[in-house]
Amino acid sequence: MLIRITDFEGGGATSVDFPLGMVVKHKLYHYRGVIVAHDMQCAAGDKWYEANKTQPSRDQPWYHVLVHETGGLSTYVAQSNLECDVSGQPINHPRLGSYFSEFRDGGYVAKESHSLGE
């Protein structure tokens, strides 16, 4: 299953606000991207987390995001730092085809091999 990379029990937020394929915007840095996976809590190590400029709570969903027009960069972002992107515009990223089959109605449709339940 692609959507949940790790599954931590207890603690943290119980709901994932942004599903696979949703186009999002970072609240502080204003970059756009698309959700490709999530963890129910921050799965990054302490060294990475301590180097993170914002250090939002680890006890919430964290998302793996392909970042728009960065030449192929991806990032790991806390749910509290994201909001839905309402521009309706697609993302430009070289790995989109690895996860999604098409852009429709402002979001991406997962390839069969990456959908829930597989």
User: Is residue 4 domain-resident?
Assistant: no
Instruction: Report the candidate in 13, 70, 81, 7 with the shortest Cα–Cα distance to residue 37.
Output: 7
Decide if 13 is inside a domain: no
- Report the predicted TM-score, pTM, of the whole model to 2 decimal places: 0.83
Q: Is residue 104 a part of any domain in this protein?
A: yes
Rounded to the nearest 10 degrees, how much is the dihedral formed by the CA atoms of 36, 102, 69, 19?
-30
Structural domain total, the chain: 1
Tokens of 81: 């730092």
68 lies in some domain? yes
Collapsing DSSP to helix, strand or coil, 104 comes out as: strand
Question: What angle (nearest 5°) sits at the alpha carbon of residue 87, between those of residues 78 and 3?
Answer: 40
Contact (Cβ atoms closer than 8 angstroms) between residue 57 and residue 80: yes
Instruction: Return all residues near 95 (Cβ < 8 A) that are at least 6 apart.
Output: 66, 72, 74
Helix, strand or coil, per DSSP, at residue 117: coil
- Residue 15 domain-assigned (yes or no): no
pLDDT digits (tens, 9 = 90+) for 50-60: 998 888 999 99
- Residue 34 within any structural domain of the chain: yes
Output the pLDDT for position 78: 97
- Domain of 88, in residue numbers: 23-114
The predicted-structure confidence for 54-100, as pLDDT tens digits, reads as follows: 889 999 999 999 999 999 999 999 999 999 999 999 999 999 999 99
- Over range 35-62, report the average pLDDT: 94
Q: Residue 11 falls within a domain, yes or no? A: no
Say what the pLDDT of residue 54 is. Answer: 84
CATH number at residue 93: 2.30.30
* pLDDT per residue as tens digits for the range 95-104: 999 999 999 9
Whether residue 12 is contained in a domain is answered as no
pLDDT of residue 118: 42
